[in-house]
Amino acid sequence: MLAKTPVPRNGHIRVTFVLPEPGASAVHLVGDFSDWQAFKAMRRQKNGTWKTEILLEPGHEYGFRYLIDGKRWENDPKADKYVPNPYGSENSVVVT
């Protein structure tokens, strides 16, 4: 799930990423905003979902995926859209 909230004081968009993955030991948010490196460790919530927030510049599209337990890639089921990647699958996209 994605939630977007404008931040008036700096003009950015706060994007909240939530992934239901109760069986995971660790989940990282990875994407264009991190040069596809394991950028942001997500925090496990009491309900079994994983959550993190980042600030992004408005007016852009950012590809991203979730890296689960350091070996499995997943897309966001509520992404704004999906685009093919060079590995034969698709990346999630958030549009700010």
CATH code: domain of residue 54: 2.60.40.10
15, HSE (Cβ side, Cα atoms, 13 Å): 23
pTM: 0.92
- The residue segments making up the domain with residue 48 are 2-95
Chain centre distance of CA 61? 12
80 band by pLDDT with thresholds 50, 70 and 90: very high
**9 membership: H or E segment, kind and range:** none
The arithmetic mean of pLDDT across residues 3-10, rounded, is 93
Residue/partner pairs of 77-86 with CB below 8 Å, 24 or more apart: 77/1, 78/1, 78/2, 79/2, 80/2
Average pLDDT, the chain: 94
pLDDT band at 84 (very low <50, low <70, confident <90, very high): very high
Residue 1 token pair: 């799930």
pLDDT at 8: 87
> How many structural domains comprise the chain?
1
